[in-house]
Amino acid sequence: MDTQRRSLMLGALSTLTLGLPTVGWTQDSQALLDTFIQFSAELCGRPPEALDRGMAQRILHALEDQGKLSRLQALYQNVKNDTPLADELRAAWFSGSIQTSDGAVLVGFVHALAWGSASFLHAPGSCGGPTGYWSEAPQTPST
């Protein structure tokens, strides 16, 4: 991650930890959300447009409720600062749920990254293709 982007992320997260959560989602918090999505995309090895904004907001709120925003700021500075939190974020993005003090909370089942890990996967209850699409074997990428 380049230095300028890291500085932007740190500035946005610093702004959040100074009080934006108590004010509610404002234009500045939308910039924070963009920063969080960019960071999460790099952390998960996916393009930012592959991550759902609503899911990102729910993950951020769960982290805020657990008092983990300062740990998130340290993670922005260096991913090696908090490997358990980095793993927790990856798990949330791929599974669509996050652990809280009340147990697992669903933050985005249909938008979980696990469904995009293979071309033939899709969330139960969502359409995988036209009628009968499952009758043919999935195409394998040529190497």
If you search the block for the tokens 């939308």, which residue do you land on?
A: 30
Cβ atoms of 120 and 129 closer than 8 Å? no
Q: Tokens at residue 139, please?
A: 């195409």
Say what the pTM is. Answer: 0.69
SS (H, E, C) 62-79: HHHHCCCHHHHHHHHHCH
Cβ atoms of 97 and 59 closer than 8 Å? no
Torsion 15-20-21-27 (CA) sign: negative
- pLDDT values of the chain reduced to their tens digit, one per residue, 143 residues: 455 555 555 555 544 443 333 334 444 778 889 999 999 999 999 999 999 999 999 999 999 999 998 899 889 888 888 899 999 999 999 999 999 888 999 999 889 998 877 766 766 766 666 778 778 776 776 65
Residue 142: which residues within 8 A CB-CB, separation 6 or more?
A: none
